[in-house]
Amino acid sequence: MFENQPKGLYALALANTGERFGYYTMIAVFALFLRANFGLDPGKAGLIYSSFLMLVYFLPVLGGILADLFGYGKMVATGIIIMFFGYVALSVPLGGDNVALWAMMGALLLISLGTGLFKGNLQVMVGNLYDDPQYSDRRDAAFSIFYMAINIGAMFAPTAAVKIMEYAQTHLGVSEADSYHFAFGVACVSLIISIAIYYAFRSTFKHTEVSSMAKKKTETTAADTLPAGETARRVVALILVFIVVIFFWMAFHQNGLTLTFFANEFTAHSSSGLQSMAFDVWNLVLCILIVYAGFAIYDAKTSRTRYIAGGVIVACIAVLIARYFTLPESTPVAAPIFQHFNPCFVVALTPVSMALFGWLAKRGKEPSAPRKIALGMLVAASAYLIMVVGSLGLATPNAQAAAGDAASLVSPNWLISTYLVLTFGELLLSPMGISFVTKVAPPKLKGLMMGGWFASTAIGNFLVSVGGYLWGDLPLWQVWSVFIGVCLVSAAFMFIMMKRLEKVAR
């Protein structure tokens, strides 16, 4: 899995991990912050939340255009500086009036602009590492590793947000509304770490920073040109994929909106016994170590490696048992903490998915990237089917709010199961989609096409707001059914266009 990869992959992945940790610390509590600090209803909070997500993923189009002209490295460095000032502005508590609201909007604009310059271009640089024939056959595995690194940052973010807010409230006497700003401040620190990693290891990937258009025309090679008509075919194929992924992200990013509302309003606020261990991220880290040690035993070339990996497994199990017997009677469960399940599942399941597809590849049966994307849509639909079943018999959100202490609450396992299945869909779609873009995009349009991937994500993120407007008088099973429907229609469209897409991907 990790063997024979260029060193630049790990440097870029770690730089991205720092940035993503800060972003997901903020996003874990942002929708709740909008309601607590400004008193917004779910629809308005959802509109601001989804509009911000839209900008975060739409502005990479601009970042890609600029990078194609001036180089990827310059845009990455500029972007992270702009993001830093945005998070600094968001960290300042200004109250809940209109001035504070507009100041927050300005901070969000800086964050989204900086992300637009940073995010897509960093991923293009990862793809450029694999233009070297020596590494070309490891592109899909590389993006799985890169995607896993992103989620390592996201894995600890909800816990960081909740803990820093608790500390501010209990030790500093800060109100709940103002404590959110401490969570936003964590992002400032993480960006400093990210830029330090980027420049410390720049020598391992510096050759990927310059785009084809930024090179001198005399340096253009045959690899930078395509036969007549091929550029258009590739662009059309990518646009078809972009259309489909819009609806995946519309459904997936309900994790920060309606799924968080469900956690806050319909899910038990405490847990006990074995189940409660899932709400401590360090227990999940120990489980992840067991998974990786298990694969290390399987792949080990020496007995020493097997013994070490076996020792790790035994030690992790022993610590988990010890932690189980020291559990409190009841563990509080804050709504944002549910967002650590998806990244934890991504990190744990990445080697499983890579092993599965590697096994299929050896037998000539590995699905193509477009087929994986279509399957990912089907899996996402099945995740919301779990929510439909878990919501049967529950009141509407407005009726639930009116019920007060008499409201019915369900087991956290419904949400945990939903995140598990959504993660399977994400692993089929997101890293494979990014890999597909870097492989198929015409050389002179790599930045723009990666921007197109993020633009489709942006539109999907804006449509996340649909969930906020549905959250009120509709029965919950109808809310979740909307997302099932869009995923199934998208999957059907993908399968219809499959032959055309697979031809371009060869």
Q: Residue 215's pLDDT is what? A: 56
**Cβ 504 vs Cβ 234: under 8 Å:** yes
Q: How far is CA 12 from CA 15, 73, 315, 358, 471, in A?
A: 5, 11, 31, 24, 39
Last residue of a domain, one of 286, 306, 332: 332
Q: Using the predicted structure, report yes or no on whether residue 292 has a pLDDT greater than 70.
A: yes
Checking if the pLDDT of 219 tops 70, the result is no
pLDDT digits (tens, 9 = 90+) for 296-314: 888 888 888 899 999 999 9
Q: Are 424 and 349 in contact (CB under 8 A)?
A: yes
Q: What is the residue range of 112's domain?
A: 7-204+233-269+333-505
> Are both 254 and 328 inside the same structural domain?
no
* Residue 30 domain-assigned (yes or no): yes
Provide the number of structural domains found in the chain.
Answer: 2
Query: 59 by DSSP, 3-state: which?
Result: coil
The residue with greater pLDDT, 143 or 219, is: 143
Q: How far is residue 33's CA from residue 148's CA, in Å, rounded to a whole number?
A: 28
Which of 97, 486, 411, 501 lies closest to 254, judged by CA?
486
pLDDT for 96-115, tens place per residue? 888 889 999 999 999 999 99
Identify the pLDDT of residue 217.
Answer: 46
Q: Above pLDDT 70, what percent of the chain?
A: 95
Tally of CB atoms within 10 A around 170: 10
CA nearest neighbour of 94 among 110, 77, 106: 106
Fill in the DSSP letter of residue 267. Answer: B
Query: Do residue 11 and residue 155 come from a single domain?
Result: yes
Assess whether 16 and 110 both reside in one domain: yes
Mean pLDDT score, 423-446 = 82
Of 332, 358, 374, the residue that ends a domain is: 332
The answer to whether the CB of 80 falls within 8 A of the CB of 19 is yes
Largest Cα–Cα separation, the chain: 74
**pLDDT score, position 352:** 86
Q: What is the DSSP letter of 410?
A: B
- Decide if 324 is inside a domain: yes
**Helices marked H in 172-255 — which ranges?**
176-200, 230-252
Which has more confidence, 443 or 297? 297
Tell me the average pLDDT across 343-350.
88
Average pLDDT, the chain: 86
Q: How confident is the model at residue 406, as a pLDDT?
A: 80
Average the pLDDT over 23-40 and give the result. 86
Please report which helix (H) or strand (E) contains residue 207, including its range.
none
Of the candidates 346, 292, 329, the residue with the CA atom closest to the CA atom of residue 143 = 346
Please check the confidence at residue 430 and state whether its pLDDT lies above 50.
yes
Looking at residue 238, what is its pLDDT?
87
- Model pLDDT for residues 224-271, shown as the tens digit of each residue: 566 667 788 888 888 888 888 899 989 988 987 899 899 999 999 999
Across the range 384-409, mean pLDDT stands at 90
**Boundary of a domain, candidates 303, 332, 361:** 332
Return the closest-CA partner of residue 244 out of 416, 94, 76, 378: 378
Whether the Cβ atoms of residue 67 and residue 450 lie closer than 8 Å to each other: no
Q: CATH number of the domain at 102, please.
A: 1.20.1250.20
Q: Are both 258 and 342 inside the same structural domain? A: yes
Instruction: For residue 13, tell me if it sits in a domain.
Output: yes
The answer to whether residue 198 sits within a structural domain is yes
- At 218 the pLDDT is 42
Q: Which helix H or strand E contains 493, and what residues bound it?
A: helix 476-496
State yes or no: pLDDT of 323 exceeds 90: yes
Q: Are residues 287 and 396 in the same domain?
A: no
Examine the domain organization and report whether 197 and 302 are in the same domain: no
Q: What is the DSSP string of 296-330?
A: HHHH-SSHHHHHHHHHHHHHHHHHHHHHHTT--S-
In a domain, 1, yes or no: no
In one letter, which amino acid is 169?
A: Q
Q: Give dist(CA 416, CA 329) in Å, integer.
A: 21
**Domain assignment present for 164:** yes
Give me the residue label for tokens 């007549």: 228
Any idea how long the chain is?
Answer: 506
Is the residue at 221 inside a domain?
Answer: no
Residue 291 has pLDDT above 60, yes or no: yes
Phi and psi angles of residue 407, each rounded to the nearest 5 degrees, phi first: -65, 145
User: What stretch of H or E contains 83?
Assistant: helix 72-90
